[in-house]
Chains A and B, each alone.
Chain A
Amino acid sequence: MAPYLVCEGLSKTYGGTLRALHGVSLSVERGKVHAFIGENGAGKSTLAKIIGGMVAPDAGSMSFDGKPYAPGKPRDAHAHGIGMVHQHFTLFPALTVAENIVLGDEPTRLGQVDIARAVEEVRALSEEYGMPLDPRRRLHDLSVGEQQRVEILKELRRDVELLILDEPTAVLTPQEVERLFKGIRRLIRENRTVIFIAHKLEEVLAIADEITVMRKGRVVGHRDRAEATKEELVQLMVGESLPVHERRYGAEPGGEKLVTRELTIRDERGRPELDGITLSVNAGEILGLAGVEGNGQQALEQVLGGLITPTTGSVVLNGAAITRASPARRRRLGLAYVPADRLEWGCAPQASVFENAMTQCYRRESTAGILRRRRLRQVVRSMFKRFDVRAPDLDSPISSLSGGNIQKLILARELGSERSERLEAIVISNPSRGIDIRGVQFVHDLLAGYRDAGCAILLISTDLDEILALSDRIGVLYTGRLVAMLPGQGRTSKTELGRYMLQGDDKERAA
């Protein structure tokens, strides 16, 4: 079969030094699902953006359907029939589904946007592809899965021949993933082509016809689905074999440490973001909270961290109410909090590495309000050593570090200061998002260590593997409610968790 999309020697360097792609060549066949896999930072997304016309390569060339292809902007890609669905959706929350889908190519009548026709088109399209959507609803009322459908329909309306899906499953429940896969198979039956970007091997093996493995900006392997094995792919992705830690954490939990009672938070319109959350985390226990993103995780972590006060309900640490305590007071009482959003809440991106690292110890290392800078630098350096933070220059901005190093810096700062022996409880959210396998292992070992030392840990994560690997008990968040509390340590299956994540406790109600 003749190659459909061909890439030759694509290279891309961001801002002078950050080399994202290094002479990547590959070819994609028509009517197949072609997966790009690799760890975070392997260059998959950059490659996808080049194909989608979002990013121009520094070197290399492409051809599509036998003709040279060099898109300067997304519009050029569309003109060729290539469309892309992004990891972070490119949607407009205040506009309706129909407006979102037709934007950029709107039907008009007498100079006005013809909304009635747009609605009709969208309705027809969503029925044709089995992706139910109400065209008149506003985007901010939709679930993440529905929003993804909007993205995909937007591309399909433009008659794309080649659809790029960048990490489409990251935000979906297992059931929604299954539904997405059905849609993908349908496209393939119409002889369209799909490029599927992922880092979860099971999904890739379930949907892909061909697999390209990337590592550090290069293509390191190409396999047909038939000849691919999981072990080999892992080895290609990682570059060396890592010891697989099959750990069973098992210290006996003690008494209640961190307790919430009937926590409720309402947004500006009075809709609940959190709805009566009551839970308790015991000493020496990791309580994992699973859930699809956007089901109240952010509100919960921020309430526990002291960034917002709940509308009703209370938070108790070691028997003392801290519902309205400031973040500073919570820290003094031994509650550490590591937010999910590192660049927005977890650090000041424009400040230097040093300024970010010293936030929890600058008071101790000062005399009469004057910073002891030399001593502070020593403290920060030794902290970095213990947590393996690699920062060559303390005075360069923290944004020059990799995601993994930023995360380790945050962990070092929040958990690694001298007070950390007195840590009572840790609230940590999506701790291994965006960091590589070695980094994940480091974080997991660290959390297990604190747990074994008697700390109560609330682990909020959208990564089911992480939840299953670490948790002693597993709660599920769904539309701001805690809909299930299940046993951890391998006694709950992924499918079961997924069912709760998708439909809450409907199952119980039906029973």
Chain B
Amino acid sequence: MSSLAEVFNLQLLFDVLRMTTPILLLALGGMITDRAGVLNIALEGLLVFGAFAAVVGTGMTGNLLVGVVAALVGSGLLSLAFAWFALYLRGNIFIVGLATNAFAAAVTTYASWLISGREGSLSYPQAPTIGPISVPLVKDAHFLSFLSGHTVIDYTAWALVLVVSFVVFRTRMGLRLRAVGQEPLAARAVGLSVRRIRYLAVLASGLLAGLAGAQLSLTLGGFVQNMSAGRGWIGLVASIVGSGTAFGSAAASLLFGATEGVANSLQITAPKVPAQLLFALPYVITLAALVFYSATRSRKKGVLDT
């Protein structure tokens, strides 16, 4: 009996890590753009686009690497379009972000219909799915075994936490990024190209979202409309709640990943709990975190308060 509970708990921890990955990647992207002074509403669309491109890339060639590259290229290009509309054509960046989400949803749905004849879903039966890597030693270490058996993207995501933190807080590029986000006019006066740095920041978030998309669709082995399930927004909140640091974002992502992991495992272990309530849970927890963060953060009254 106790061993059963143990297995279940380790399985849950395993699920939590798995569910954290896309949110974590998105949160890192959101944090980078936030540091550059851009509120990245487009994360959701970038994620969807990446997930779709990964399936097409893998399906056409049967090669997972091609799929991942396709996701990076697809989301990267879409993020550049997003940045171009906002920074060059001077669109309100927030509205452009919404438009990007709408565009990604419309195009992927239409394209999947063109390819497969089904609207909003696409899979290639012969295409491989991304497989687990078992980590020697760890996989046999009883309590740590949940750390083993994840995909290469999962491990990459956690490595990227360190990379992003180093780049943003230690390097020349990072210093400039923070300067641009804080005081764009001053940054311009210092001779920094605000636009160039923001382009790069948005591109970085696009690549990260593309990787997140690849993780979603390549583990599942197909693309389904709405498979993003609001993760772009949840990742955005994770970057906000993480107060603009990579480690903070990672912690918040872990919380939201845990919510999804728990919701997922409850679906199996407690079939009586309605699935729709479990689907709603991540949004509610995310909202609660956002409210809690905002409430503790701003003790000073805002202009809107009466």
Bound complex: CA A113 to CA B175 (Å): 8
A112 and B189 in contact (CB under 8 A), knowing A91-B183, A92-B179, A95-B179?
A: no
* B151-184 to A contact mask, C-beta < 8 Å, 1/0: 0000000000000000000111001101100110
A201 at the B interface (CB under 8 A): no
B185 at the A interface (CB under 8 A): yes
CB atoms of A73 and B183 under 8 A apart: no
B142 at the A interface (CB under 8 A): no
A74 and B189 in contact (CB under 8 A), knowing A92-B183, A95-B178?
A: yes
Interface of B is mostly: helix
Chain B residues with CB below 8 A from A351, complex form: none
A90 and B178 in contact (CB under 8 A), knowing A74-B191, A106-B172, A308-B301?
A: no
Chain B residues with CB below 8 A from A132, complex form: none
A90 and B185 in contact (CB under 8 A), knowing A103-B176, A112-B171, A113-B175?
A: yes
Interface of A is mostly: loop
CB atoms of A99 and B175 under 8 A apart: yes
Bound complex: CA A298 to CA B115 (Å): 63
A113 and B183 in contact (CB under 8 A), knowing A78-B191, A103-B190?
A: no
Within 8 A of B (CB), among A68-91: 73-75, 78, 84, 86, 89-91
Question: What's the least CB distance linking A103 to chain B, in Å?
Answer: 6
A267 at the B interface (CB under 8 A): yes
Give the residue of A86, A92, A93, A113 whose beta carbon is less than 8 angstroms from that of B170: A113
Question: What's the least CB distance linking A206 to chain B, in Å?
Answer: 28
Within 8 A of B (CB), among A334-349: none
Question: What's the least CB distance linking B288 to chain A, in Å?
Answer: 23
Give the residue of B186, B298, B299, B301 whose beta carbon is less than 8 angstroms from that of A90: B186
Question: What's the least CB distance linking A452 to chain B, in Å?
Answer: 36
Query: Could you list 21 A-B pairs, sorted by A, with CB under 8 Å?
Result: A73-B191, A74-B188, A74-B189, A74-B190, A74-B191, A78-B191, A84-B189, A86-B189, A90-B185, A90-B187, A91-B186, A92-B182, A94-B178, A104-B192, A108-B171, A108-B172, A113-B170, A113-B171, A113-B172, A267-B300, A268-B298
Bound complex: CA A75 to CA B193 (Å): 10
Within 8 A of A (CB), among B231-250: none
CB atoms of A106 and B175 under 8 A apart: yes
Q: Which residue of A lies closest to B193 (CB)?
A: A73
Chain B residues with CB below 8 A from A106, complex form: 172, 175
Question: What's the least CB distance linking A200 to chain B, in Å?
Answer: 24
Question: What's the least CB distance linking B193 to chain A, in Å?
Answer: 8
Question: What's the least CB distance linking B233 to chain A, in Å?
Answer: 27
CB atoms of A103 and B171 under 8 A apart: no
A268 and B299 in contact (CB under 8 A), knowing A112-B171, A113-B175?
A: yes
Chain A residues with CB below 8 A from B179, complex form: 92, 95, 103
CB atoms of B171 and A92 under 8 A apart: no
Number of A-B contacts (CB under 8 A): 62
Give the residue of B170, B183, B190 whose beta carbon is less than 8 angstroms from that of A104: B190
Chain B residues with CB below 8 A from A443, complex form: none
Given A90-B189, A104-B176, A106-B175, 18 more pairs with CB closer than 8 A? A74-B190, A75-B191, A90-B183, A92-B186, A94-B182, A95-B175, A103-B190, A104-B190, A104-B192, A111-B170, A111-B171, A111-B172, A113-B171, A113-B172, A113-B175, A267-B300, A268-B298, A268-B299
Size class of A's contact patch? 20 to 34
A54 at the B interface (CB under 8 A): yes
Bound complex: CA A108 to CA B175 (Å): 12
Chain A residues with CB below 8 A from B191, complex form: 73-75, 78, 104
Bound complex: CA A268 to CA B300 (Å): 6
**Which 7 A-B residue pairings sit nearest by Cβ, starting from the closest?**
A90-B186, A90-B189, A75-B191, A104-B190, A74-B191, A112-B170, A106-B172
Question: What's the least CB distance linking B174 to chain A, in Å?
Answer: 8
CB atoms of A54 and B190 under 8 A apart: no
Chain A residues with CB below 8 A from B298, complex form: 268
* B187-201 to A contact mask, C-beta < 8 Å, 1/0: 111111000000000
Chain A residues with CB below 8 A from B170, complex form: 111-113
Chain A residues with CB below 8 A from B185, complex form: 90
* A101-116 to B contact mask, C-beta < 8 Å, 1/0: 0011010100111000
Chain B residues with CB below 8 A from A94, complex form: 178, 182
Q: Which residue of B lies closest to A73 (CB)?
A: B191
Bound complex: CA A74 to CA B192 (Å): 9
Chain B residues with CB below 8 A from A99, complex form: 175
Q: Which residue of A lies closest to B301 (CB)?
A: A308
Question: What's the least CB distance linking B164 to chain A, in Å?
Answer: 15
Bound complex: CA A268 to CA B182 (Å): 19
Bound complex: CA A112 to CA B299 (Å): 35
Question: What's the least CB distance linking A386 to chain B, in Å?
Answer: 32
Question: What's the least CB distance linking A399 to chain B, in Å?
Answer: 17
Bound complex: CA A505 to CA B156 (Å): 60
Q: Which residue of A lies closest to B175 (CB)?
A: A113
* B246-271 to A contact mask, C-beta < 8 Å, 1/0: 00000000000000000000000000
Bound complex: CA A111 to CA B170 (Å): 8
Bound complex: CA A137 to CA B183 (Å): 18
A89 and B186 in contact (CB under 8 A), knowing A95-B178, A111-B171?
A: yes
Bound complex: CA A331 to CA B294 (Å): 33
Bound complex: CA A379 to CA B271 (Å): 70
Question: What's the least CB distance linking A156 to chain B, in Å?
Answer: 15
Chain B residues with CB below 8 A from A112, complex form: 170-171
Q: Which residue of B lies closest to A77 (CB)?
A: B191
Within 8 A of A (CB), among B103-142: none
Chain A residues with CB below 8 A from B301, complex form: 308
Bound complex: CA A73 to CA B187 (Å): 12
Bound complex: CA A93 to CA B183 (Å): 9
Q: Which residue of B lies closest to A89 (CB)?
A: B186
Within 8 A of B (CB), among A251-282: 267-268
Question: What's the least CB distance linking B298 to chain A, in Å?
Answer: 8
Bound complex: CA A89 to CA B170 (Å): 25
Bound complex: CA A124 to CA B46 (Å): 48
CB atoms of A54 and B172 under 8 A apart: no
Question: What's the least CB distance linking A328 to chain B, in Å?
Answer: 11
Within 8 A of B (CB), among A438-494: none
Chain A residues with CB below 8 A from B187, complex form: 90, 92
